[in-house]
Amino acid sequence: MGRFSRPAGILLVLVTALVVGTTLTVARAGPATPLADLPGTVVYIRDGNIWLFVPATGRLMQVTRDGNYRSPSLADDGTIGAIQRLGGRSHFVTISPAGRKRAFPPGELINVIHADLSPDGRVFAFDYVIVSPLGANPSRVGVTFADHWGASGIAGGRWGLFSSSYSHPRWMTRERLILSGRGAWPYLVRGPGSGWEDNSSPYKFNIPGLRYDYYDVARSGSRFVVHGATWREEGYAEKLTGWHTIVYRPARPEEQQVVELDLHEMRACRGDTIERFGGGRCAVGWVPDGGFPLQGEPRGAAVAPDGRAIAFADDRGLLVTGPGPAMRAYVVDPRGSEPEWSPFAPTR
C-alpha cells in the first residue's frame, strides 16, 4: 500500500463562527488563504478511509483504500495510528511513513471506541467497553504498545489505573494524557513521576454547564478546547439544547490571582507569546477566548499543536478554523470526520 495517494482538489467553504445558518462563501485553497499559515497536518476519516489535509498547501491526500477505519492519529514522525474493524473485531493499526501496515487485536474481548497514538508513535491510549451478556459496561481507558498488546514496561510508568469514570484520552505530550470525565484529568504515563497529577496542575479543568463534554489541550499549552452539549431540565429529564466548541486561553495576571509556578507548570502560562516561559509568575486558570455552535452532533475535534486553530467535524463535514480571534472556519472536506492534528508535515 502506498503511503500517500495523489492529492485531490479542494474547495474551502467559509463559515462565520458563532453564527448558525450563515451564508456560505466559496474560496479556493492555496497560499492566499488564512489556513496557509497553519503548521502540521490534519489526519481524518472520509468514507471509512484515512485522509490527510495539509493546511500550508491546501492538499488532501488519501492514505488507505481498504476501509473500516476510524479514530486516526498521527505521530510526529509521520506514523499513522487508527482503529480498523477486521473479522468482526477492533484492531489497532499503525502505518509507517514508508507505507508498512501493522495490525493486531486487543488481548481481551473489548470494543475499542477511540484510540490516540502518542507523539513518539510508541503507545496507544484508548477507551473501550467490555461487552457482556448483560450489555456493554461503562467506558474505560487503557494503554498498550503501538506494535503489540500489553503495557507493562512502558518506561517504568504506571498504567491502567483508570476507573470507568474516564474516557476519550488525548496525548498532550509523549508523557501526559488528558482524560475526560466530568472535567479534564491530566495523567503522566511514563517516567518516575508517572500517575495522576495533583490539584496544582494547570491542566485540571471543568465546565459544569456542559454534558457529554470532552477536552483537548494544545501541545504548546496555549489553548484548552472543550466540546460538549448545553442542556435544560424538562420535568425529570434533561433535554440537550445544542452542541458547542469553546476555546480557553491561560488567564493573565491582571485577570486572576497571581501565584508562583515552577518551570514545569509555566508551559500553561505562555498564552500567545514565549516571553513568560522560563519561570516566574503567571495566572492560574483559564479565560474563554472564543467558541461556536456546531450544526448537528459533533464528529470529532482537535486543536492545532501551537493552539492557534481547531479542526472539527459536524453535519457540514470537516472544518478548520483560521488563526486569529475571528475564529472563521473553512469546510475542508464535506465528507470528513474524526480529525486529529499533528506537527508532522509531509514532504511529498
Q: Over the stretch 90-133, which tens digit does the pLDDT of each residue have?
A: 999 999 999 999 999 988 778 889 999 999 999 999 988 877 77
Average pLDDT over all residues of the chain: 77
Phi, psi of 287 (to 5 degrees): -120, 135
* Average pLDDT of the residues in 2-23: 38
User: Which of 8-17, 50-59, 133-142, 175-184 has the least mean pLDDT?
Assistant: 8-17
Grid coordinates in use for 90? Answer: 477492533
pTM: 0.82
Name 79's Cβ contacts closer than 8 Å, sequence gap at least 6. Answer: 94, 95, 96, 97, 117, 121, 146
Q: Does 347 score more than 50 pLDDT?
A: yes
pLDDT band for 250, please (50, 70, 90 cuts). confident
User: Which of 7-11, 73-77, 229-233, 320-324 has the least mean pLDDT?
Assistant: 7-11
More confident: 206 or 53 = 53
Strand partners, 13: 26, 331
User: Which of 137-141, 198-202, 255-259, 267-271 has the least mean pLDDT?
Assistant: 267-271
Name 236's Cβ contacts closer than 8 Å, sequence gap at least 6. Answer: none
Q: Does 52 score more than 90 pLDDT?
A: yes
Cα separation, 239 vs 237, whole angstroms: 7
* Average pLDDT of the residues in 188-199: 79
Answer whether 4's CB lies under 8 Å from 100's CB.
no
Q: With CA atoms as reference, report the closest residue to 44 among 253, 347, 288, 341.
A: 341
Supply the CATH classification number for the domain 11-199+299-342: 2.120.10
Name 52's Cβ contacts closer than 8 Å, sequence gap at least 6. Answer: 4, 41, 42, 43, 44, 59, 60, 61, 63, 74, 346
Domain boundaries, the chain: 11-199+299-342
